[in-house]
Structure 1
């Protein structure tokens, strides 16, 4: 098995790495560039986005004919990892969630008219987007069959009523995908709809406070009370909502893992630099056996996560579903990110716990990794079902 990157992908990877080092890390280091939610402020973001476009590093995941760079998922894995060496990296390249996943699903299944109207402005960086699926109890979360938001046919329109919450980016989004129930059919009961921010019949109730730093637009609670949507804004067909979520969430989960790997590596980078310089009991911390065990274990887990991500990316590029590969990567990398930053804080001591480094930012952010896009326990259930169904074929090489 050849894990080397093609010359084209390696070139993109090196250029992304150089851009992060040269342009983004200095902006990250200056707290005046941060907004009130501990993300990069809009003025600094727009400057960096313009530079990324000028250097041909914009929207790596989108087709070249739409202004992207046309990289496969394997190429995205290598580059997204480099982007998230900075806590602010992915959004500067238009590769941050939820826009990233929304662009990929619209590009894959949208009609030509929908791509022009709903996708292209996101690719161009003119608007942000959100994906509205999760609901408060007793509605749908990891189990979409519990969804309570409904869309009823009235004349030539679909009228949506219900409630969603923890909708990432909704506070600044202009383009939305919402999943609603259109029948009681177990497999064909959900439908995906597209709508604009300024349409009547819905509102943002609140931006929900969270323990960690927030994406632009936060995580919001939404109420739908008569939002009207025409047939032309149905994504795929009526009853295909579950299929839309499956098409979107698989690659989106994997791109989370790509970015989280970058944050895990950054955590060890900070810790590694510190223990090589810090003296303790007459020698450098890096010479202590206990320190070496901690660093070695975290580094090994990161590499395991990278290999799982690449295996899943390769399977998706080949046209496979990669369900179990994505689930394995999601569990492994979520755990690894938390372990890596926890290890880094432990090794850096009070400095790691303080705001003198970005470790405490990454630590608070990392806790969500085990929850978003399917809790780790749900993915382990998926893996269990796969194993019980496949037996020894679970470990097939092809």
Structure 2
């Protein structure tokens, strides 16, 4: 592939970087700007979002007719990395999970009426959304075929019963994408539904406390006790829920990686700045060979992650599901984010372990990266299946015509 970034994408990257420097990074330094769950206060977020929208840096991932800038997956890789130089960045530009993935899947498969009803308010920043798939044992986790939540058809609507948990953003979401079982068919047994939080027949059982800082709306356990959804609010058609998950989750996994690379680079930035200033035993940290080895290794691994992400983004732009490419990127970048935070904390010493920097925030956040949207082990199993099927062609280049 051609690694040259178009002038248009470079302009977006430059403007995003300047916006983050001017309007977003300064907010991290004041504890009063955080909510009770260690994210940016919603009222403050709305204020900064208005500035981003006014500067044309809003929903870049979507098509122009939807309200975006149609930058493509390769453009997203460049821009999302720049956005997540700040821990608050993705939410500011309306590129944070789960809204990001929900907007893209609704844009891809929603009818005109569904886009007007469900997508437009998310694009406009008026509501937030959630994707309800994961269930407690023995229900679905990384394997959606294990879904136990049921949707029973009654006339022109469906009655849904079951339980979901670790649903990101549910406490503040207005619009939900829900995966439920409509038959026992292993390939055509799942269906994707849209519902509104104000509909009766469901409730939030609890907001699950987690190790790290949380997205707005937390991670919740939901109980469905007879939620009624009209047949008109099915995404695609009955039995095509697995297809909806494939369309949504592949790109969503990769957008996580794009954002995590920005955080990884921020960790290096904090570490190198401190190493250049901190002296001990007559020598700067930056002049110690051991420190140089740590930072050089980390820089290399971040670049490996960037190349894997860019290859996967390119494949998605070519129309591929890019399952192999996305899995490789997901494993590499999730692990390098953890290493970046750990290395930066080590080099900053007690300062890194304190809340004087955002490193401890990133460190706690980073541990979930190896679990969300498929654990490392699941993605490695996926890669092994490709290896068994493809053999030596696993590493082949795509030949041009």
Give your verdict on TM over 0.5: yes
- Kindly tell me the number of residue pairs found equivalent between the two proteins: 398
SS at match of 2:335: helix
Following the alignment from structure 1 to structure 2, what is the Cα–Cα distance between the partners of residues 28 and 353? 16
Match of 2:124 in 1: 124
Match of 1:257 in 2: 257
Following the alignment from structure 2 to structure 1, what is the Cα–Cα distance between the partners of residues 67 and 107? 12
SS at match of 1:38: coil
Q: CA RMSD in A?
A: 0.6
Match of 2:224 in 1: 224
How far is the alpha carbon of 1:144 from its aligned partner?
1.5
How far is the alpha carbon of 1:2 from its aligned partner?
2.5
How far is the alpha carbon of 1:60 from its aligned partner?
0.5
Contact 1:264/1:340, CA 8 A, preserved across alignment:
yes
Match of 1:191 in 2: 191
Contact 1:334/1:370, CA 8 A, preserved across alignment:
yes
Match of 1:318 in 2: 318
The reply on whether 1:213 has 2:213 as its aligned counterpart is yes
Following the alignment from structure 2 to structure 1, what is the Cα–Cα distance between the partners of residues 36 and 4? 41
The reply on whether 1:373 has 2:376 as its aligned counterpart is no
Match of 2:22 in 1: 22
Map residues 24-63 of structure 1 onto 2, 5 A cutoff: 24-63=24-63
Following the alignment from structure 1 to structure 2, what is the Cα–Cα distance between the partners of residues 232 and 103? 18
The CA deviation string for residues 75-121 of structure 1, in whole angstroms up to 9 with x for no partner, is 00000000000000000000000000000000001111111111011
Map residues 164-183 of structure 1 onto 2, 5 A cutoff: 164-183=164-183
Match of 2:106 in 1: 106
Following the alignment from structure 2 to structure 1, what is the Cα–Cα distance between the partners of residues 270 and 384? 37
Following the alignment from structure 1 to structure 2, what is the Cα–Cα distance between the partners of residues 145 and 257? 25
Contact 2:132/2:167, CA 8 A, preserved across alignment:
yes
Following the alignment from structure 1 to structure 2, what is the Cα–Cα distance between the partners of residues 43 and 216? 12
Match of 1:363 in 2: 363
The reply on whether 1:141 has 2:137 as its aligned counterpart is no
SS at match of 1:121: helix
Following the alignment from structure 2 to structure 1, what is the Cα–Cα distance between the partners of residues 216 and 397? 40
Contact 1:59/1:95, CA 8 A, preserved across alignment:
yes
SS at match of 2:220: strand
Gaps of 5+ in 2: none
Map residues 55-74 of structure 1 onto 2, 5 A cutoff: 55-74=55-74
Contact 1:212/1:365, CA 8 A, preserved across alignment:
yes
Following the alignment from structure 2 to structure 1, what is the Cα–Cα distance between the partners of residues 281 and 296? 21
Bigger shift: residues 61-70 or 374-383: 61-70
Match of 1:293 in 2: 293
SS at match of 1:172: coil
SS at match of 2:186: coil
Contact 1:127/1:175, CA 8 A, preserved across alignment:
yes
Runs of 4+ in 1 over 3 A off after TM superposition: none
The CA deviation string for residues 165-187 of structure 1, in whole angstroms up to 9 with x for no partner, is 00000000000000000000010
Match of 2:233 in 1: 233
How far is the alpha carbon of 1:31 from its aligned partner?
1.3
Contact 2:62/2:70, CA 8 A, preserved across alignment:
yes
Match of 1:395 in 2: 395
The CA deviation string for residues 130-161 of structure 1, in whole angstroms up to 9 with x for no partner, is 00000001111111121110000112210000
Match of 2:243 in 1: 243
Bigger shift: residues 219-228 or 140-149: 140-149
Following the alignment from structure 1 to structure 2, what is the Cα–Cα distance between the partners of residues 324 and 64? 29
SS at match of 1:191: strand
Following the alignment from structure 1 to structure 2, what is the Cα–Cα distance between the partners of residues 46 and 241? 33
Contact 2:13/2:78, CA 8 A, preserved across alignment:
yes
Contact 2:66/2:107, CA 8 A, preserved across alignment:
no
How far is the alpha carbon of 1:30 from its aligned partner?
1.4
Bigger shift: residues 136-145 or 7-16: 136-145
Gaps of 5+ in 1: none
TM (norm. structure 2) is 0.99
SS at match of 1:178: strand
Match of 1:352 in 2: 352
Match of 1:84 in 2: 84
How far is the alpha carbon of 1:4 from its aligned partner?
1.6
Following the alignment from structure 1 to structure 2, what is the Cα–Cα distance between the partners of residues 95 and 29? 22
Following the alignment from structure 1 to structure 2, what is the Cα–Cα distance between the partners of residues 253 and 138? 23
Following the alignment from structure 1 to structure 2, what is the Cα–Cα distance between the partners of residues 29 and 265? 18
Following the alignment from structure 1 to structure 2, what is the Cα–Cα distance between the partners of residues 190 and 323? 20
Contact 1:27/1:44, CA 8 A, preserved across alignment:
no
Map residues 149-160 of structure 1 onto 2, 5 A cutoff: 149-160=149-160
